[in-house]
Each structure stands twice: as C-alpha cells, then as structure tokens.
Amino acid sequence: NLGFNRIGIIIGLKVSKKAVIRNKIKRQIREIVRNDFPKTKNSYDIVIITIKGLETKTFLEIKEALLKLAKGLK
C-alpha cells in the first residue's frame, strides 16, 4: 500500500504518427489527473490507454471523459 495512485498513460501510433501530437495529449491527460482526479484512500495502479480519434477532441472533452471514468475509483 503506497498511499498514492500510480498512473500510466499509453498513446499509440494509431492516435497520431506525430510525436508532437502524442506528447500534447499526454501532457493534457497528466494535467487532468494531477488537478482533478479524486484522492482515494486506497492506492491504485491506473493505466490510461488512448484510442484513435482522441487527437480531434478538445481539452474539455478529454477532461469530461476521464472524470466520468474516475468516478468509479471512489
């Protein structure tokens, strides 16, 4: 029991062949997790695997989707 969550983010080449785009998405997801993910009593190992089409989504759309998934962690 570490007392904190560990997050892994996987963004494959299917999302975008350009590393700049993949890194931008990864930075956005990291920021959402850092600021908005709920603090839990248990520590979890979480892996976020992105899918094709994410490069066209806005920051707010990505945030809404991740927060909807995070509600299940409590």
Q: DSSP labels for 33-72?
A: HHHHSPP-SS--EEEEE--TTGGGS-HHHHHHHHHHHHGG
The tokens describing 36, both together, are 């908005």
Higher pLDDT, 23 or 71: 23
Mean pLDDT of 56-60: 95
CA 11 to chain centre: 10
Output the CATH code of domain 6-73.
Answer: 3.30.230.10
Distance, CA of 44 to CA of 2 (rounded, Å) = 9
Given a cut of 80, whether residue 13 has pLDDT beyond it is yes
* Per-residue pLDDT at 41: 73
Quickly state the pLDDT bin for 17 (edges 50, 70, 90). Answer: very high
Mean pLDDT of 21-37: 92
By percentage, how much of the chain surpasses pLDDT 90? 61
